[in-house]
Chains A and B, each alone.
Chain A
């Protein structure tokens, strides 16, 4: 199993550009989440999904969209990038039963200039 994969690893955008951060998992986990990590702030939840077709907002959802058309994929879209979205983004997946452990991807480092 590859676990949770994220692409790209690094990205630089100009203010106002749009892009999609990709996240995929091959563990058949029902739950997936997106977090951003900023210095001194820890990780904050952006959006999460409890299954295909179902998404909900987390703590800091503004400026981001998500969709979940398949169990495997959970892309995060930035519609109009802003410098405040410069951060490291982590995707995570969790099984619906058992330990509920969250498995994290390696992260995407995004810089908006």
Chain B
């Protein structure tokens, strides 16, 4: 079946540190891949996406590259800020009409100044 595996959290970093959150997937066919972010007390927001192999999604200094050969979509940021503290979810898209998402369990990031 289809599934997403994320690294366990929490991840605790100092401001300006480098961030990597690992994400690997299992899927039939060629899914689209997403990273969503959830700030405390809020719903999920799309952070970035990639729809085919070797695509790189980027937004707000975050990047992730769709690696078909390793079935991975790792999230990276070169210099994190306190405001990046949130829960990050990796997801893939399935469904007849491309509507449903399968999520990983989420990784909590805490950045201190």
Contact = CB atoms under 8 A, between A and B. Distances in A.
Interface of A: 4, 30-31, 33, 35, 40-45, 48, 50, 58-59, 90, 92, 94, 96, 99-102, 104-107
Contact of A101 (B42, B49, B97): B49
A107 B43 contact: yes
B100 A33 contact: yes
Interface in B13-51: 32, 42-46, 49
Contacts of B70: none
B49 A33 contact: no
A94 B94 CA distance: 13
B105 to A, nearest CB: 4
A96 B97 contact: yes
Interface residues of B, number: 21
A107 B38 CA distance: 11
Given A31-B97, A48-B95, A90 B106 contact: no
Interface of B: 32, 42-46, 49, 89, 93, 95-106
A22 B78 CA distance: 40
Contact of A104 (B45, B93, B102, B106): B45
Contacts of A100: 32, 93, 98-99
Nearest to A103: B46
Given A43-B89, A100-B32, A106-B42, A94 B105 contact: no
A101 B104 CA distance: 17
Contacts of B99: 31, 33, 48, 50, 94, 100, 102
B102 A106 contact: no
